[in-house]
Amino acid sequence: MKKWRTLCFFWAIMALHAVAILIFTRGFLLTRTELPFHSNCSDVSKESPCFSNSPQGSDVNSTEGRCWTKPAIGRLVIIVLDAIRFDFVAPSSFFKEKKPWMDRLPVLQKLAFGEGSSARIFKAIADPPTTSLQRLKGLTTGGLPTFIDVGNSFGAPAIVEDNLIHQLVENGKRVVMMGDDTWVQLFPHHFRKSYPFPSFNVKDLHTVDNGCIDNLLPTLYEEDWDVLIAHFLGVDHAGHIFGVDSAPMIEKLEQYNGVLEKVIDALESQSRPGGLHENTYLLVMGDHGQTLNGDHGGGSPEEVETSTFAMSFRRPPSPIVPELDIPCEFDLERRSCISNFQQLDFAATVSALMGIPFPFGSIGHVNPEMYALAVNTGNSEDNSMGLDQYELASKEWLLNYANVLCVNTWQVISCLIDNHHIFNLLHFIKVKRYIDIYSASSMIGFSSEDISRIADMYTKAEKTYRQIKDNASHRSKSNDLSPSSLKHQIDAYVKFLNSVAELARSKWTEFNLPMMLVGIGMMLMSLFTHVFVIYRLSKACGVPFNPCGNSKISLGLVFASIIVMIRMWSLFSNSYILEEGKVANFLLATSGLVMLRYSIMRRKMLLEAGLFLILVAIIRFTIEIGLSKQAATSAFLHFNPSWMLGIDTSHHVWTHIFELLPMLALLLLVHLLYKAITGSSFGAISKITLLGTIFSYILIAMQWASENKMLGLASYGVGRNTLPRIIYAIGFGQILLLILSKLSCQEKAVVDCRRSIISDSLAMLSAWSSTVIIISGQQGPLVALATLIGGYCIVRFHDLEGNASGTPLVLAVNPLSLTQWCLFAVCLFFCTGHWCAFDGLRYGAAFIGFDEFVLVRQAILLTIDTFGFSHIIPIFGLPFLLLTAGDEKKGFPFARLSLVYMIYGFITAATVTATLLCVMVHRRHLMVWGLFAPKFVFDVVGLMLTDVLICVASLYFLGRTRDNTPAHDHAIGN
């Protein structure tokens, strides 16, 4: 068997991992079944208790001019301010400490808390994941988002299940949309007119917003629409690039305040009787919140808490009677109160207001305060209204709202219970229909205990409502109804609807445990394959694998195994996953202390051991910043570069120092590359590659100097996208040149290959480094220097154990050095400001050099930013671990380098296997979707990328080599 048999093992292991992950994913990330049914006006039977036995003198149950509910508003304006935090809208008096971004939307606060106001501010609660696509889908369908849909955030598929926009169009409502183009991707054929603008360039703060402003105000004076949707994106993009506490963010909020003032003035000027907006309803809302550094996607309070402002231009709201006991949050002075609004209730509430059928899959309920703003049974402006009339109006409103909840409940229950034939069909209300059909159609369904519990709750609520309606039908007017009985009925419906929502949250995504076990079993199979190949490769290197090492225990192997096991076990704790970077750094520091011990024993390499521990301490500081979710993007550092050290930015000297540090680091890298060219006997191709990298580093420095206005290059026509594109082109050309040179060269003997592989590794690293550095931002050169120093120290430590203790290595390579290399790569992932969550992705990096969004191109750039320093650079740098004395005697290069890659892959696969076990064990954990699922996604993507890079590197380094190790063919072939 030739060397190709060993290379085939790498590809076979990658295929095994791919199948294992696919099977496990099918068992873990099952998606919610999307039913093809749609609600219709004819679905509600006139014999239903919701439409019968109405009290005389009340029009609550009149079916004239109505579908499911009587329309309460004529026109609806929805303004979506993407990523609006709750503290952007609520007054600063609701918070213990006032921040610079608070009270920047005073027009909403003035209207909401003014006396006799017809407007309210709500704290809106979103369901994670808090990406825009999932929130828009959840808002319009009235259902819960599914975690696996996060992958579609960059390519939104059209919604096929029933939704609010479909119901509006089907019931004759004319819908106009402007702003974020995600709407036209979700609803491609629904809008009468649309003005979409590209939404994924997070560096562009103004295109979408200016497009909305240009079209919004003129459209308010037109008559050819019933529902207007305007989706602004500036705050979301400002957060991603600059963070919340930044001048661009405050400027955006102030711009929005001015726009909202004009919108409200335009609506009020036409709200007189007979005016165009006499019966118009305004909603200003966020789809989700954002963290202080502008990220979102997870389930933290900052991300799920946003705000909704509702205002009716018809007349002041009807009174919310005290019997409803709506909870609210008071400000510190207890003068103002804000209640919560679940975004799950948005579709049901808007449907009730517009008088259209609720979306078939909606499981929310009609919000009483939003409904009361538009639905009036009495004129509260009439000061002559006596106490009796006020009580009558209140009772009529309660009865009307109870009737709406009756319809709401029928919409939910009949879909979720499969055996509705047990009950009288006429006694069902519509949430029941959804439970019913969903259980029949979905592979998941609901348990008989769940079905029985919610059916019992519904039966009791329906029975009570029938009794109230029967009693009311025997009276001449509705003022004989008891408010307490109506409140009791409303509470019963709300309790039922809340129970259904909680049931859906717990059961929406079930797990296929057998498939998950099969996936884990295949991962364990891959680990055994790794061990088998490691044994054969070690034997081929002339060092048979013997854990006892000639009756002497190898401390390096034992310690490396303990470190890997500790890291694996730490993944079973949610708190340790949150602190994963710190755990990896602690283990790396512990291994550094072991190396310091060996250095002292040998009385050599003390400088390297001390330097390594200092570097680990510095990395620990940067990880602390990243894990606190305060890590800044390069643009944020440019805006306020010394924030992390607490330095007074009024001293411009510090600002210039922080701007110059990355360029000084680049110059140091240029110097080191130049020394490598002049001081080594590299081939022509390698020297050309290194010279190209030096030129790219100079271009990077010019790009950053231009951005900092230090050299004024922008004034000479050098575009901000030109230099990054040149750097990308140089890097791609370098990689292509290296690959072509490997394909065209002849096989080399061992002596030649030792020098060739090292030069090839340096050339490949330099070719990748320029792209990784510019995408990483101004932290890139500093991280590159840290990588260089850490890698150098680990290489120097490689043979330290055996030389220090006299114990021969049990493998041809030192497993402790490889373990350190893996831990160092993990630390680089976290110290660059990333973490295992979707809000840890730095989307701005995908647009360095580009303004337009192209899915494949931006995905590649985002992948390089996320995994450049933690995967690409470490894997192509692994051959440097073999730069020790006596390599020729240990089967260098083929078998020994193959062994290095196999052990590195084994450590990575073992960690991911622990992640899969952790996810399976914690599949019912409260933080499964907010923490464990994102960790799973990042780890499996990292594993597959590691496998691909190892396969590519093995072909690149070893494809044209001739291994002269006699034992190699026999050891691997048998």
Query: Where is average pLDDT lowest: 47-56, 228-237, 360-369, 668-677?
Result: 47-56
State residue 199's pLDDT score: 84
- The per-residue pLDDT for range 803-812, each reduced to its tens digit, is 544 555 556 6
- Over 90: is that where the pLDDT of 842 sits? no
User: Confidence class of residue 632 from pLDDT cuts 50, 70 and 90?
Assistant: very low
Cα–Cα distance measured from residue 816 to residue 799, given in angstroms and rounded to the nearest whole number: 10
* Cβ–Cβ under 8 Å, residues 664 and 784: no
What would the mean pLDDT of 84-109 be, rounded to a whole number?
93
- Over 90: is that where the pLDDT of 348 sits? yes
What would the mean pLDDT of 228-239 be, rounded to a whole number?
94
Cα 888–chain centre separation = 48
Q: What percent of the chain has pLDDT over 70?
A: 75
User: Confidence class of residue 147 from pLDDT cuts 50, 70 and 90?
Assistant: low
Half-sphere exposure of residue 945, counting CA atoms within 13 Å on the CB side?
20
- Over 60: is that where the pLDDT of 251 sits? yes
- The per-residue pLDDT for range 753-803, each reduced to its tens digit, is 667 778 889 999 999 999 999 999 888 999 999 999 999 999 888 766 655
* Cβ–Cβ under 8 Å, residues 293 and 243: yes
* Cβ–Cβ under 8 Å, residues 935 and 28: no
Question: Which residue bears the tokens 């208790």?
Answer: 49
Question: Which residue bears the tokens 């008989």?
Answer: 448
Write out the two tokens for 847: 């647009």
β-partners of residue 80 are 231, 285
The H or E element spanning position 77 is strand 75-81
Torsion of CA 423, 426, 429, 431, to 10 degrees: 60
Angle at alpha carbon of residue 969, lines to 965 and 970, rounded to 5°: 110
What would the mean pLDDT of 892-900 be, rounded to a whole number?
79
What is the chain's mean pLDDT, rounded?
Answer: 80
- The per-residue pLDDT for range 46-91, each reduced to its tens digit, is 445 566 544 444 444 454 556 888 898 999 999 999 999 999 999 9
State residue 833's pLDDT score: 84
Write out the two tokens for 579: 């602190």
Q: Which of 517, 530, 523 is nearest to 913 (CA)?
A: 523
State residue 155's pLDDT score: 47
- The per-residue pLDDT for range 545-588, each reduced to its tens digit, is 555 544 445 677 888 999 999 999 999 888 888 889 999 999 99
Query: Where is average pLDDT lowest: 313-322, 550-559, 794-803, 907-916?
Result: 313-322
Cα–Cα distance measured from residue 338 to residue 342, given in angstroms and rounded to the nearest whole number: 13
Half-sphere exposure of residue 495, counting CA atoms within 13 Å on the CB side?
17
- Over 90: is that where the pLDDT of 902 sits? yes
The H or E element spanning position 526 is helix 513-540
Round the CA-based radius of gyration of the chain to a whole number and report it: 33
Range among 342-346, 455-459, 967-971 with highest mean pLDDT value: 342-346
- Over 70: is that where the pLDDT of 314 sits? yes
Q: Lay out the sheet containing 175-180: strands in order across.
A: 193-197, 175-180, 227-232, 75-81, 280-285, 305-312, 119-125, 337-342, 329-330
- The per-residue pLDDT for range 646-702, each reduced to its tens digit, is 444 455 666 667 778 888 899 999 999 988 888 766 778 888 999 999 999 999 988
- Over 70: is that where the pLDDT of 326 sits? yes
Write out the two tokens for 949: 């890079």
State residue 682's pLDDT score: 76
Query: Where is average pLDDT lowest: 115-119, 224-228, 391-395, 886-890?
Result: 886-890
Cα–Cα distance measured from residue 728 to residue 531, given in angstroms and rounded to the nearest whole number: 39
Range among 363-377, 388-402, 710-724 with highest mean pLDDT value: 363-377
User: Confidence class of residue 425 from pLDDT cuts 50, 70 and 90?
Assistant: very low
Q: Which is higher by pLDDT, 11 or 743?
A: 11
Cα–Cα distance measured from residue 853 to residue 871, given in angstroms and rounded to the nearest whole number: 25
Strand, coil or helix: 123 = strand
